[in-house]
Copies of this chain bind each other. A is one copy, B any other.
Amino acid sequence: MIPIEKKIDILRIMYLIREFEIASRNIFKAHLAKGEFLGALHNCDGQEAVAASIGAILRKDDYVFTTFRGHGHSIAKGAEPKKMMAELLGKKTGYSKGRGGSMHMFDPSIGLMGGNGVVGGGLTLAVGAALSAQYRCSDQVSVCFFGDGAAAIGAFHEAINLASLWKLPVIFLCENNLWAATTPIKFGCPIENISERAKGYNCVGKSIDGNDVYTVYETFLSAVDRGRNGNGPSLIECKTYRHHPHCMVIPEHRPKDEKQMWLQRDPIPKFEKVLQNENILSNHQQEKIRNEIKKIIAEAIKFAEDSPLPTVDTLYDYIWA
């Protein structure tokens, strides 16, 4: 079903996300060692299958609203690693010119409507973007990423209710990685599958393996079709896991065996194996892509480091349009 080039693209993006996350952690640690705190860093290693599959389906003009854990989604939507890296360092050349940092990268020209530091902060905004698409009779869709933790926030309810009432092209994409900061899912949600809530809004809901590219791809594809065809929103829950603690300053606290189990379900080797079995991916090719990615990341770091900081006289720039 998925064209071969697309499959390779997806893997490529998964690599890129993974390498970006590794690099960003290293940079943050290096700065921390120098006594420079670069803010909160929330990495998404382990969740790449979701971002990459979705990125492969969306058009450039579709909207994505991401979270504080948004590097993967941004890369999958086409964000340039060098501008992202520069933003991480607060540089003038970063996506938000140093105003945003890790949690707030925007590029409306590629439909990247930004990260959000507020858990669930993007839910109602994504509904607005979908309303706008419907209003303009474009067939864009609006994707809102959020976590299992965010599913407890009141805005979730208001957003999905309005989207269902108005049949808006929104895809509510919940990445259920079983933890919200240090809180296990069972402390936050009294049901097994968050997607079951969809029924309460006459909305389509699906809970799927978020570490399996094909499953995510297929499920998301039909949700996008639903949206484009004017059939309203979908609530998709992808079960997945982050490989690292909630953010840089919080130590690991999750059960060892749980983590171990999920590391074995790492979506990257899993998808590599699939492609190898399909004879689409050779070792050589794999190596080649990995090297390209390494180069992109190295260039991004160099670009970011070489870039100037914003100057103090620009403090008040960009408050008003």
A residues contacting B by CB (< 8 A) are 152-158, 161, 164-165, 187-191, 196-197, 199-203
Contact = CB atoms under 8 A, between A and B. Distances in A.
Contacts of A196: 199-200
Contact of A165 (B154, B161, B187, B199): B187
Contacts of A165: 187-190
23 contacts: A152-B157, A153-B158, A154-B154, A154-B157, A156-B157, A157-B157, A161-B189, A165-B188, A165-B189, A165-B190, A190-B201, A190-B202, A190-B203, A191-B199, A191-B200, A191-B201, A191-B202, A196-B200, A197-B197, A197-B200, A199-B199, A199-B200, A200-B200
A158 B164 contact: no
Nearest to A187: B165
Contacts of A156: 154, 157
A197 B196 CA distance: 10
A157 B156 CA distance: 8
Counting every copy of the chain, the complex holds 2
A230 to B, nearest CB: 15
A235 to B, nearest CB: 10
A125 to B, nearest CB: 14
A28 B154 CA distance: 37
A153 B155 CA distance: 8
A299 to B, nearest CB: 44
A58 B236 CA distance: 41
Interface centre among A156, A165, A200 (most CB of B within 10 A): A200
A274 to B, nearest CB: 34
Interface centre among A161, A199, A202 (most CB of B within 10 A): A161
Contact of A164 (B190, B199, B200, B202): B190
Contacts of A189: 161, 165
Given A152-B158, A199-B199, 16 more contacts: A153-B154, A153-B157, A153-B158, A154-B154, A154-B155, A154-B156, A157-B157, A161-B189, A165-B188, A190-B201, A191-B199, A191-B201, A196-B199, A196-B200, A199-B200, A200-B200
Contacts of A203: 190
A279 to B, nearest CB: 44
Nearest to A120: B154
Interface centre among A153, A154, A191 (most CB of B within 10 A): A154
A223 to B, nearest CB: 17
A234 to B, nearest CB: 14
A202 B186 CA distance: 12
Nearest to A205: B200
Nearest to A167: B190
Nearest to A163: B190
Contacts of A188: 165
Contacts of A200: 191, 196-197, 199-200
Contacts of A164: 190
A186 to B, nearest CB: 8
A250 to B, nearest CB: 23
